[in-house]
Amino acid sequence: MPRLEIDGQEIEVPAGTTLMEAAQQLGIYIPFFCYHPKLSVAANCRMCLVDVEKQAKPLPACATPASDGMKVATRSRRAKMAQQGVLEFLLINHPLDCPICDQGGECPLQDVTMGYANPHSLYTEEKRVVEDKDIGPLIATEMTRCIQCTRCVRFGTEIGGISELGATGRGEKMTIGTYVAKAVRSELSGNMIDLCPVGALTSKPFRYKARSWELKHSSSLCPHCSTGCNTDVQSLGKEVLRVKPRSNEAVNEEWLCDKGRFAYTGLQAADRLQQPMLRVNGKLQPASWAEALDLASSALQQVIGKHGPDAVSGIISPSASNEELYLFQALLRSLGVRAIDHRLRQTDFRADPAMPLYPALNMSLEQLESEAFVLLCHAYPREQQPLTNHRLRKAARAGAQIWAIDGAKREFNYPLRQICAPAGADLALYRGLVAILRDGEQTQDVELRALATALQQASKPLFMLGNGLLQHPQAAELLAAIASLVALVDGRISWLAEAANSAGAWLLGCVASRKIGGALVIDAPDLWSGKKAFVLYGVEPEADAMDALRARAALDAADCVISIASFLGEAEEYADIVLPLASWAESSGSFFNNEGRLQEYRAAVRPAGESRPGWKILRVLADHLEVPGLDFDDLQAVQAAWQGALGEFPLDVPGLGTFPELQPSRMVAEAGYRLLGDWGIYRQDPLVRRAPPLAEEAQARVHPDTLAELGITGSTLEVLGGNGARVQLPVLVDAGIPRAALWVNFGHPETQALGGVGRVVHLQQPSLRARA
């Protein structure tokens, strides 16, 4: 353990500690730009030069390991001269455009210049100008401001999995960019904005909106996936102006994905609900809260009185807070309603009795980094949970063996081996694996054999179960096959939960087959068939249901649809009563993340218009319906109530339970193309779908052979759904899609019209009539 002295203070540090880290432990600040604790050491900005006794030249503190007996001075004359010299050179080519630079006020270069620079520069020559780069719709570039610290480059290769960024040229001509004009796409790209120590990379949506010191900070959570990233919602007046990560080593470290960072831009969507509405003469008309609540409660009472409580279905978003989830199910269950669920994307619920208490990671996110063998089962964490994916990526970089089984090959950002089922034969793949492992069956499939061998050799392999499984029409059989696999190789199961509070929805009884705390409900009624009334809470079945057509037909046929939501969407056509719901940024609450970690968030701004926080709406609705016991005065009381009702529960819920007898199901077998797909990263919930910078088009992907076989030459494909739907989609050739299949990204009206995964569709060259 070297002992050294920094600015006269002694410290003993473990071998390998750098001077920068040692100084930080002493609370001594050494200025820097390129150094970052999460990135490799580059030592190219030279700002952290310090004066070390008996050394001929100043040394960079970030790259110099502490050694015994060192005497370091950070404020000596020589250190100061070095700092001033470095800053003078850095500023030679840096424009003096702070007044129009978004980084102004939160700029390390500005701060360090104020603190350490010599106010006079000897430089009188011209400054260089650097061409701006296109690194996507989210990051504004002003490359003349770049000081070549290469943090963004290192972030790209080390964290983001972007291998296109680099520093080309030399000396004064060195620039950051790609070697060919090429947009950099990564779901983590926004972090480069935070990392950039100058105004070279700034947030495009936030550009020129406000100065950092004007913003109010509210500690919040990201409501867009189950990782549960901690965020800082920054607002000015009534408007959320930006979202940045809050550092939490155990969850998101200091990162945030682009979905979490930019989805707030959807809060201002045109169809944002500002006041209650009622359907009068077939059209939705603004109404008062009193009228709307009266009507909502009387309509519900009427349906229940006439058709019984099983004629009512309650569907809540898995992004709702624990408080909302608890009140929602408590209210409906008191009325006798049993069809309560949050799983719009699932169609096969036969495995429910075998499901665990909640979809748990069954370990901490940090532990995921040290896994040695992971098999991703129909899981694509890169888009489902970008920062959980980052942990997996770290595991992969540390040498973990990663495999993936899915219906199509996906674009992972770490090395792994992917096995893709022939169109629609996902189940056969898992069963094939079981047959090899259990019965020693021979197979021609080399990859599958290799996976079987790898599984046998691995010690307690981890099976990560993704959305793709639950969204599959044969979900129950897939899960049963995986359960056998896990048992055969002594594996462990880890779930990648679908949405921000899927865990909470399971725990708090927003699943038809489970009451709060996981108590089983036998013979829970179906969510859609024969329903006379629907209570929708924060959901858009038209965009989020796997079988959107069936959902829409059921909604259209119902006597009464009550939609409690932040956005109107297609509810304009089917809802009878619309209650405006405050968004996550406008209300407080708590989520359980994928680990089962309970985290709270605070309202950042006032609710838009007359919208109200969900717990208040539900509480008042309960009042109107004369449901006792839900008359809470504040959020803390709701919290105490659900915590009391839920009680203690185990964080780890390993394994799957006993499966019921599963009648063999069959995939529709008719000629045509099998529909495959998933909700892309920016189509997963109502808010992110409305974020303009994250907008993406509906898209079809097919195998090159499919295109050739159909003789399709253009860039558009016409898809005929079995249900009479006829849509045109831009087509992308992708060899990772199996033959005889069509892959689409769901969550778009065009793709939602096709009926969901597993259907058979027909493809053709767009007809002239349709094109015109």
Partner 1 sequence: MSTWLSEAALEEIARERRKYPPEQARSALLAALRIAQEEHGYLPEALIEHVADLLGVPAIQAFEVATFYTMYDLQPVGKHQFCVCGSVSCFLNGSDAILAHLQQRLGIGIGETTADGLFTIKEVECLGACKDAPMMQLGDRYIENLTPEKIDALIAQLRQEVQR
Where does this chain bind partner 1 (CB under 8 A)? 157, 163-171, 178-180
The smaller minimum CB distance to partner 1, of residues 180 and 669, is found at 180
DSSP labels, 247-291: PBTTTTBT---HHHHHGGGGGG-TTB--S-EEEETTEEEE--HHH
Count the Cβ atoms, other than its own, within 10 Å of residue 459.
9
Q: Is 157 left (phi over 0), alpha (psi -120 to 50) or beta?
A: alpha
Could you tell me the strand order of the sheet in which 283-286 lies? 283-286, 277-280, 577-580, 560-565, 533-537, 312-316, 339-341
Report in angstroms how near the CB of residue 155 gets to partner 1 at its nearest: 14
Of the pair 89, 649, the CB lying nearest partner 1 is at 89
**Number of residues in the chain:** 772
For residues 166 and 286, which CB has a smaller minimum distance to partner 1 in the complex? Answer: 166
CB of 372 to partner 1, least distance (A): 18
Return the beta strands (E) in 507-610 as ranges: 533-537, 560-565, 577-580, 589-592, 598-601
Which token pair is 300?
Answer: 């519900």
Minimum distance between the CB of residue 446 and partner 1, rounded to whole angstroms? 23
Rounded-to-integer distance, Cα 274 and Cα 565, Å? 10
Cβ count near 10 (within 10 Å) = 9
Tokens of 393: 């990526």
CB of 191 to partner 1, least distance (A): 19
Element (H, E) at 242: strand 239-245
Q: Which is nearer to partner 1, 179 or 208 (CB)?
A: 179
Distance in angstroms (rounded) separating the CA atoms of residues 435 and 716: 41
CB-hemisphere CA count at 13 Å for 591?
Answer: 27
| Gap between the Cα atoms of 700 and 743, Å rounded | 6
Cα dihedral across residues 210, 212, 214, 215: positive or negative = positive
Distance CA 68, CA 318 (A): 56
Query: E strands of 63-195, at which residues?
Result: 71-73, 139-141, 166-168, 175-177
**Which one, 189 or 474, has the nearer CB to partner 1?**
189
Residue ranges in 714-755 assigned as alpha helix (H): 749-752
Q: Are 220 and 587 in contact (CB under 8 A)?
A: no
Report the candidate in 614, 640, 642, 618 with the shortest Cα–Cα distance to residue 631.
Answer: 618
Burial class (CB in 10 A: 0-12, 13-18, 19+), 98: middle
The DSSP 8-state label assigned to residue 634 in this structure reads: S
Between residues 16 and 171, which has the closer beta carbon with respect to partner 1? Answer: 171
Cα angle, residue 122 at apex, residues 116 and 127 outer, rounded to 5°: 95
For the CB of residue 136, give the shortest distance to partner 1 in the complex, in Å.
17
Tally of CB atoms within 10 A around 449: 15
Nearer to partner 1, 40 or 298 (CB): 40
Output the smallest distance, CB 177 to partner 1, in A.
9
Closer residue to partner 1, CB minimum distance, 180 or 772: 180
Q: Which is nearer to partner 1, 138 or 165 (CB)?
A: 165
